[in-house]
Amino acid sequence: MMLSADECARRVNETKRRLKTWWAREETDRPLFMMFSTQNLPAPNDYFSNVEESWLNIDKRLAYEELRMDCTTLYGEQYPGVSASLGPGSLALLIGSQPGFFWDTVWYGPCFHDIAAANIKRPLDNPFWTWTLDYTRAAIKRAEGRYMVELPDLIENFDTLASVCGMEELMMAALDEPEAIHRLQRQTLDAWKEAFEGIYALIKDEENGMSVGGFNLWAPGTVAKLQCDASVMLSKGMFDDFVAPYLKEQAAYLDYALYHLDGPNALQHFDTILGMKEIKAVQWQPGSAYPAAIDPAWFDVQKRILASGKSLLIFVKPGDEETLPQRLEAFVREVGHRGVAFVIEQNLKDERTAQTILEAAPSWR
C-alpha cells in the first residue's frame, strides 16, 4: 500500500540511520536489506496507450508509479521513490542522442559521426533536459512526502561516449585520436556536473542529502552511482589513461560515490578502483552468464572490496526463495556484515521470505 507522509518519513528516517552506518563502515546488528513484493500491477503495455507515452507522459507515468506503490509491500530498508529516468544512461539524450523507446528500456543512437570534430552540447539546451526538470518538479509536488524523488541514472564517462559516438568508432579513436577522447571526456564530465547540479538543487533534503534512483541508495550529501562498463574492452593502460582521471575527479566531486563494477573482465581494473579513496562503495555485478553475486565464486572479490575500506552493495536475484535466507547467511558468515547491503532486485512472491531474513540476520554475525 502507498505509505502516508508520516509512514514514509518513519521508514525513510530509519533507512537513513542505517545507511549512514553503512557508508561509515560502522558496527551494526545486521547487513542492510532492500526488499519488496509487488502484486496485481498491470504491465505497462496494458496501462499506457503506447510505449512513448509510458516514458514521456508525466502525469500518466506518475499515476502508474503511484499505482505500483499501492501494489507493493516494502521490507527492510526499501523505501518508495521515483526519478526522471529515461533509461539507464540518459545523459546521452541530454547531449544530443535520439532515443529508441522500448517498454523496459531506452536505447541511445549515436549522434556524432566525426569524433575529431565532435563537441558535447550543454544539457540546458536540450528538450529532454526540460522534460527531466518538469518531471522532477511534478513528482515533488505530487509526492507530498509520500515517496522520495531521486536522481535518475544519468551515467557518464566512457560509457556515455560509447552511446553518442558508437563503441567501435570510440575504440578506434582511442587508438588514432587520443586527444579527441580526452577533450570529449572533459566535456562529458562538465555536462554531467551541470545536469547533476540542476537535479540536486530540486531533490536535496533537509540534511542536504539525496537518493539515487534504482539503487535505493540515500546518502547525507551528494551521491551517485558511477561506472564504466566499457572497461571490459579497455586494457589497463587505456583505462588508466582515458577513464581513471575523469572517474577520480567525478568521485571527488561527490560526497559519496558508489562504483558499479560489472563483469569478470572488468576485474583487470580492480586495483585501480580500489585504490581510489574518493570511491566510498562498490557494487560487484558479475553478469547473467556467471554465478550470482552471492555465490562463493566471488567471496574473495567481495572481501577485497571490504578490506580496502569501501562499503559493499550487492544486487541479488532471489531465485529459489526457500533457499534465499540460507544463501545470504552463508555469504554473511564468510564475507562479513559490516558495510554490507543487499538489494533483492526482483519481486518476492512470498512475504515470509523477507520476514525470515530480517528475523534471522542478526544471528548470522
Asked if residue 121 has pLDDT above 90, the reply is no
Query: Domain limits of the chain?
Result: 5-364
Average pLDDT over residues 161-178: 95
d(CA 232, CA 276): 19
Cα atoms in the Cβ-side hemisphere of radius 13 Å centred on 312: 28
519481486: which residue's cell?
Answer: 347
Task: Tell me what pLDDT residue 185 has.
Answer: 97
Which fold, 5-364? TIM Barrel (3.20.20)
Higher pLDDT, 8 or 124: 8
Binning pLDDT at 50, 70 and 90, where does residue 290 land?
A: very high
| 103 has pLDDT over 90 | yes
Average pLDDT score, the chain: 96
User: Which one-letter DSSP state was computed for residue 151?
Assistant: B
By C-alpha distance, which of 122, 140, 256, 243 is closest to 190?
Answer: 122
Burial of 211 (0-12, 13-18, 19+ CB in 10 A): buried
Q: How far is CA 9 from CA 66, 205, 224, 278, 335, in A?
A: 17, 12, 22, 30, 32
pLDDT at 124: 77
pLDDT tens, residue by residue, 230-276: 999 999 999 999 999 999 999 999 999 999 999 999 999 999 999 99
Share of the chain above pLDDT 70, in %: 100
Band of pLDDT at residue 10, cut at 50, 70 and 90: very high
Percent of the chain with pLDDT over 90: 95
| Rounded CA separation 161/350 (Å) | 42
Confidence grade of residue 365 (pLDDT, cut at 50, 70, 90): confident
Please give the average per-residue pLDDT across 10-25, as a whole number. Answer: 96
Task: Enter the C-alpha cell of residue 222.
Answer: 551528494
Could you tell me the pTM of the whole model?
A: 0.96
Tens of pLDDT, residues 211-230: 999 998 999 999 999 999 99
Mean pLDDT, rounded, for 70-89: 97
Lookup: cell for 339:
558495510
